[in-house]
Chain A
Amino acid sequence: MLQEAYLSVWRRAASFDAARGSAMTWLITLTRNRAVDRLRAGRKVITTTIDLADMVADERPLASTVMETSEDQARLAYCVGTLEKGDAVLIRTAFFEGSTYAELATRAATPLGTIKSRIRRALVKLRDCLA
């Protein structure tokens, strides 16, 4: 899957439009979308249970050894840290595991409406913090 994504980068590099965002955003978005497309094409959906009551903030350090933390990352990390317990995990899970609202609701055994309003509240908070 990762190979597919990198190959697709090679093939589509010419379609990259610098005016529309940084190379890194383009690369990551393309990689993520390929991964999710692949999951869906194979009718695979990640269904691992999400335990909202048991969630802790993601304590993983943001910077790896070969990468410095940029200002953007530091700021985003700070803002993500201000979210309610579990909200950041839900948002990340959506992005990294390709789970929609409906799938998150099932995985967390929580009503769809609750999940939706919870994530939307977190997104607004994130935007206000980053603005």
Chain B
Amino acid sequence: MSIDDPLRDEDELLAAELAFGLLDIADRSAAEARLENDARFAAAHRRWQSYAATMATGRDEAPRPSIWQGIEARLPANDTKPVTANRSSVRWWQASTFAAVAAAVVLAVVGLQRSPLPAPMVAQVQPAAPLVAVLTGASDKGIVTVSYDPASGRLTSAPIGIDVAGHSAELWVIPAGQSPRSLGVIAAGAPGWTRAPATAAPALAVGATLAISVEPIGGSPTGAPTGPVILTGKVTTV
């Protein structure tokens, strides 16, 4: 699994202990200091972190919907108090929201026009960088944040304030100039993740449009959107 020589067992164990949070403060500080200047130790630590994280994804514990309302209220863009968090993060949030809204407006007005050539992600970035999109629509339709990790094929969705009562929310990717391809039905009330279908995954690239339509329970019966599109957004890199 490691491309380097195996670490000494003792170091391998220390990396695991650090990743799982077993060490007391003194030992932890010492081990963390090693991460900075011991590349092999750091690589072992990352590997154990990913094991730990994989164990975590097996836990079927979705946050309560109220969590998302709380987050929405506390996001910097909604702050009514002076913002004490650092400014750049605020701009980042505002910029991405603005970009998504702008994309939605452009889409609504001129339809699917040719967008700038999507960058060939795979050739440029090693490993492929995660992609994100913030999907927005009319102010009362909520927001869905979608991220996609090309390395694992995992697609996560985090909805805020989505209400499709009695229907399913289906996520689509729309490559420039082509018809929508389904990415599946997303949970409307809680974050979730799924594997991007092989038919649609290649379309997930910078510049592609994501959209959410309201469909009968279980998703569109035709393979194309049949209900109204309530949210759209453009795919960008993190």
Min CB distance, B54 to chain A, in Å?
5
A-contact bits for B155-179, CB 8 A (1 contact / 0 none): 0101000000000000000000000
For B126, list chain A residues within 8 Å (CB).
19
Cβ of A22 and Cβ of B149 under 8 Å apart? yes
Among A14, A36, A123, which residue has its beta carbon within 8 angstroms of that of B21?
A36
Cβ of A11 and Cβ of B53 under 8 Å apart? no
Cβ of A3 and Cβ of B70 under 8 Å apart? yes
Min CB distance, A58 to chain B, in Å?
9
CB pairs A–B below 8 angstroms (25 shown): A11-B89, A13-B92, A13-B132, A13-B238, A14-B92, A24-B149, A24-B156, A28-B53, A28-B57, A36-B21, A61-B60, A63-B58, A64-B192, A66-B194, A67-B193, A68-B195, A70-B154, A80-B55, A101-B23, A102-B24, A119-B22, A120-B13, A123-B20, A126-B51, A131-B1
B-contact bits for A1-30, CB 8 A (1 contact / 0 none): 011001100111110101111111100110
Cβ of B21 and Cβ of A23 under 8 Å apart? no
Min CB distance, B191 to chain A, in Å?
9
Cβ of A23 and Cβ of B149 under 8 Å apart? yes
Min CB distance, B192 to chain A, in Å?
4
Among B16, B24, B58, B129, which residue has its beta carbon within 8 angstroms of that of A73?
B58
Q: Which residues of B contact A (CB under 8 A)?
A: 1, 9, 12-13, 16-17, 20-24, 46, 49-60, 62-63, 67, 70-71, 74-75, 85-86, 88-89, 92-93, 125-130, 132, 147, 149, 151-152, 154, 156, 158, 187, 192-195, 238
With A14-B89, A95-B52 known as contacts, the answer to whether A68 contacts B194 (CB < 8 A) is yes
Secondary structure type dominating chain B contacts = mixed
- Residues of A within 8 Å of B, CB-based: how many? 55
Min CB distance, A118 to chain B, in Å?
12
With A32-B56, A123-B17 known as contacts, the answer to whether A101 contacts B130 (CB < 8 A) is no
Secondary structure type dominating chain A contacts = helix
Cβ of A18 and Cβ of B128 under 8 Å apart? yes
With A3-B67, A3-B74 known as contacts, the answer to whether A10 contacts B130 (CB < 8 A) is no
Judge whether A124 is part of the interface by a CB distance below 8 angstroms. yes
Judge whether A47 is part of the interface by a CB distance below 8 angstroms. no
Min CB distance, A113 to chain B, in Å?
14
With A60-B58, A64-B60, A95-B21 known as contacts, the answer to whether A14 contacts B88 (CB < 8 A) is yes
Cβ of A10 and Cβ of B56 under 8 Å apart? no
Cβ of B125 and Cβ of A22 under 8 Å apart? no
Among A72, A94, A127, which residue has its beta carbon within 8 angstroms of that of B22?
A94
Cβ of B50 and Cβ of A67 under 8 Å apart? no
Judge whether A46 is part of the interface by a CB distance below 8 angstroms. no
Among A11, A14, A24, A92, which residue has its beta carbon within 8 angstroms of that of B57?
A24
With A23-B149, A64-B60 known as contacts, the answer to whether A127 contacts B16 (CB < 8 A) is yes
For B54, list chain A residues within 8 Å (CB).
25, 72-73, 76
Residue of B nearest to A101 (CB): B22
Judge whether A100 is part of the interface by a CB distance below 8 angstroms. yes
Cβ of B55 and Cβ of A92 under 8 Å apart? yes
Cβ of B46 and Cβ of A21 under 8 Å apart? yes
Chain A 16-63 interface residues, beta-carbon cutoff 8 Å to B:
16, 18-25, 28-29, 32, 36, 60-63
Min CB distance, B96 to chain A, in Å?
9
Judge whether A130 is part of the interface by a CB distance below 8 angstroms. yes
